[in-house]
Amino acid sequence: MTVRVPQLLLIFVQALAAHEGVHEGRAHRCIHDELHPRVAVRPQRYAELSDRDHEHHALADDRRALATDADDWQPLRIAVDYSSIDNATTLATIQDLVPYATSKLASALRVRPALAPLVVSGERCHEAAVPAAHGVDGVADADFVLYVTADADDGTDDADADVPLAWAVHCEVDQFGRPTAGQVHFHSQYFGLSIETLRSTALHEIVHALAFSSDLLPTFRNGLGDAWAPTTATADARGEAVTVVTTPAVRDAARAHLGCDTLAGAELEDSGGISSAGSHWESRVFGPELMAASIGAAQNSPALSSLTLALFEDSGWYRPDYDVAAPKCFFDASWCAAADGG
């Protein structure tokens, strides 16, 4: 059978589109809970804290001092270290993604600023090399140091491989438990995805390093510096036992978003195995939210909602600006019955 040229052209175009679409249609699978970084404790200097506090963990009165004086809380300053990246093309892309995320977070979050350069312990932050000067002189004008690494694109098509687009962890905390250093890693073979997906993934992962982690949830404290007891509980939803975050701001945000005043809290992801369960909102209830476990092509601009900002607030380390949150309408109110077990 003779195939006409226009048909051949159509077949070629369709095949090319299918090949390109492998990357574009791929969802980012977050593996945060598979990672087990070694975390150091390095006290930092803050206003109105006693000398004994700077030696190690804060005492109750000092934690209360940290929680007062709203005027002393300033926009979060994230210092970014790109020194591990030597590929110019990769670096150019990453220098779009990471500043997008850090500026978004700086506009949304306030912290008690460190009074001195932020000193980072050790030679490595998880897998990232820490410049020697960061452990001696520290990093000036910073509340968190982010070490950025990347795999170079070797030209192979790994779209079907079990490789995430990016991941991030914290590697150091201060005397109050707040992360002060972390690593974000990118797999540059996926840089052909839409810029919206790449930026959202960068933001998603850095939120993990700052607060939203199953390792950090048990260390959250209230406004007076006292530990929540506990931060999660088991509840019934859809006829099954689920884990929910029950801290006040998160509980209230979940109730407001879903219009369910009987919710015990915001449900955490329970599927996806150890890679995503525990450090994400439940996709079936909060699917469009930034901190759901998967970000895909159909979800190029997931929403940073008041729910995730509330989690930052309940950590005790941050004061969020709820004016930057996505509007309530991104949720489907019909989820109320499902989320509430009805």
Given a contact cutoff of 8 angstroms between Cβ atoms, the answer to whether 334 and 316 are in contact is no
DSSP states of 172-229: EE-TTS-EEEEEEEEEGGGTTS-HHHHHHHHHHHHHHHHT--TTTGGG-B-TTSPBPS
Q: Which of 20, 34, 48, 205 is catalytic?
A: 205
Residues 6+ away with beta carbon under 8 Å from 285: 258, 267, 335, 338, 339
Q: Are strands 266-267 and 240-245 parallel, antiparallel or unpaired?
A: antiparallel
SS3 category, 43: coil
Structure tokens of 98? 């990471």
Element of type H or E holding 99: helix 88-108
Concerning whether 205 is annotated as a catalytic residue, the answer is yes
For residue 230, report the phi and psi dihedrals to the nearest 5 degrees.
-95, -170
Compute the residue count for the chain.
342
Structure tokens of 202? 């960068």
Nearest residue to 333 (alpha-carbon basis) of 342, 322, 325 = 342
- Report CA-CA distances (Å) from 63 to 45, 46, 87, 220, 227: 13, 11, 44, 12, 11
Quote the CA–CA distance of 208 and 184 in Å, as a whole number: 10
Nearest residue to 208 (alpha-carbon basis) of 77, 79, 80, 32 = 32
Given a contact cutoff of 8 angstroms between Cβ atoms, the answer to whether 181 and 147 are in contact is yes
Q: How many C-beta atoms lie closer than 10 Å to residue 175's C-beta?
A: 23
What residues are annotated to the active site?
205
